[in-house]
Amino acid sequence: MSQAPEKIRCDACPVMCYIAPGQTGACDRYANDAGRIIRTDPVVMLSHAMEGGQRIVPFAARDWDGAAVPADTFVTGIGAGTTYPDYKPAPFIVSSRVDGADMVTVVTEAIFSYCGVKVKVDTDRFLGPEGAMVRVQGEPVGHVTTAEYGSQMLSIGGIHHLTGGSKAEGRITCAAMLALCNGEAVEMQVDGGSSLVVQAGCPPIVDGTAERRMRVGCGSATIGMFASQWRGLVDEVVVVDDHITGVVSEHQAGKVLGWEPTGIRIKGHRSTPDAISGSANRVSAGEARS
C-alpha cells in the first residue's frame, strides 16, 4: 500500500496550514515544493523589472536623479514579506547607505481583508448621495464618499464587504478590487444614483455616456486661474457652477486687477468682499452659492 505524500506545515502566519506536495496553502502565497515551503510570488526589484522591460507604473519609469531611493535596492511589496499580524521577522530586510545615511527597507504584507481601493472618478456628474452603496453584480462592494477637488470618490473594499457579509459579497468585492488595480474595467451601480464603468486611465462611462470633459474647478477657482487672461476682453464673466458660481468683477481676483463692478447680480447665498474669515459658508469674495 502506497503511503500518502507527507504534508508539511507552513508557519508563516497563525493559520499554520498543512500543505500537500505540489499544493499551496490557504493564501496561495506559500507552497509545498518537493517537501520544502517556498514563496509562490517572486520578489520584485525595481531595477530588475526595468532591465527586463516589465510593466511598471510611470512614476518609476523616469530617471531617478535625487537618489533618495537607491535603484538597486528598492524592493516593492510584491512577494517580499510575510503576513500581518507578523510574529516572524520580515524575510526581506534591505539595507544600504545613501549619502552617508543608513537606509533600511522592510516590507511586509497586509492581509487582504484590510485592503481597500479609493476610486477617483473624474466627472462633474452626480453619481449618488454620499454614503450610498456601490454595487457590482448586485453585491455591495463599497460606498460613495466625500468628493475631492471636484472629482467624485468611491471607497471600495474593506473588512465589512470582504469578510463581514455573504460569501458572494466578499468574492465580488475582492474581484472588483483586483480588476480595478489591474487596470480592468468594472461595472458598478450606485444605489439611488448612476451606473458606471470605471477603469484606471480611461474616462468613466456614466449612465452609458463616456465622459469627455471635466471642469477645472468651481466657479471661484476658474476665475482665480483665468481672470488676468479675460481682463480687457469682456466686461464681465460669470462662471456658472453647481458648487460655487463665480462673478469676476466681485471676485478677489477681479478686485486685484481693478475690475469695475458691472451691476450684474446672481441669485443665491452670496459671499461678500467683507466675508468673515474662517466662516465655512463664505469662501471668498465674488462667489454665489447656487
Q: Which residues bind ligand SF4 (CB under 6 A)?
A: 10, 12-13, 15-17, 25-27, 29-30, 83
- Burial (0-12, 13-18, 19+ Cβ within 10 Å), 276: exposed
Extract the C-alpha cell encoding 165. Answer: 457579509
Extract the C-alpha cell encoding 31. Answer: 507552497
- How many C-beta atoms surround the C-beta of residue 80 within 10 A? 23
CB of 25 to ligand SF4, least distance (A): 2
- How many C-beta atoms surround the C-beta of residue 253 within 10 A? 23
Closest among 189, 201, 192, 182 to 154, alpha carbons compared: 189
CB-wise, 87 or 149, nearer to ligand SF4?
87
Closest among 214, 210, 285, 278 to 250, alpha carbons compared: 285
CB of 84 to ligand SF4, least distance (A): 11
CB-wise, 12 or 244, nearer to ligand SF4?
12
What number of residues does the chain have?
290
CB of 103 to ligand SF4, least distance (A): 28
Distance CA 58, CA 74 (A): 16
CB-wise, 27 or 153, nearer to ligand SF4?
27
CB-wise, 27 or 132, nearer to ligand SF4?
27
CB of 183 to ligand SF4, least distance (A): 27
CB-wise, 21 or 70, nearer to ligand SF4?
21
CB of 108 to ligand SF4, least distance (A): 12
Its sign, for the CA torsion 187, 190, 195, 201, is negative
CB of 113 to ligand SF4, least distance (A): 12
CB of 38 to ligand SF4, least distance (A): 11
- Burial (0-12, 13-18, 19+ Cβ within 10 Å), 160: middle
Helix (H) or strand (E) segment spanning residue 254: helix 252-257
DSSP 90-137: -S-EEEEEETTEEEEEE-----GGG-EEEEEE--SS--S-TT-EEEET
CB-wise, 9 or 265, nearer to ligand SF4?
9
CB-wise, 81 or 254, nearer to ligand SF4?
81
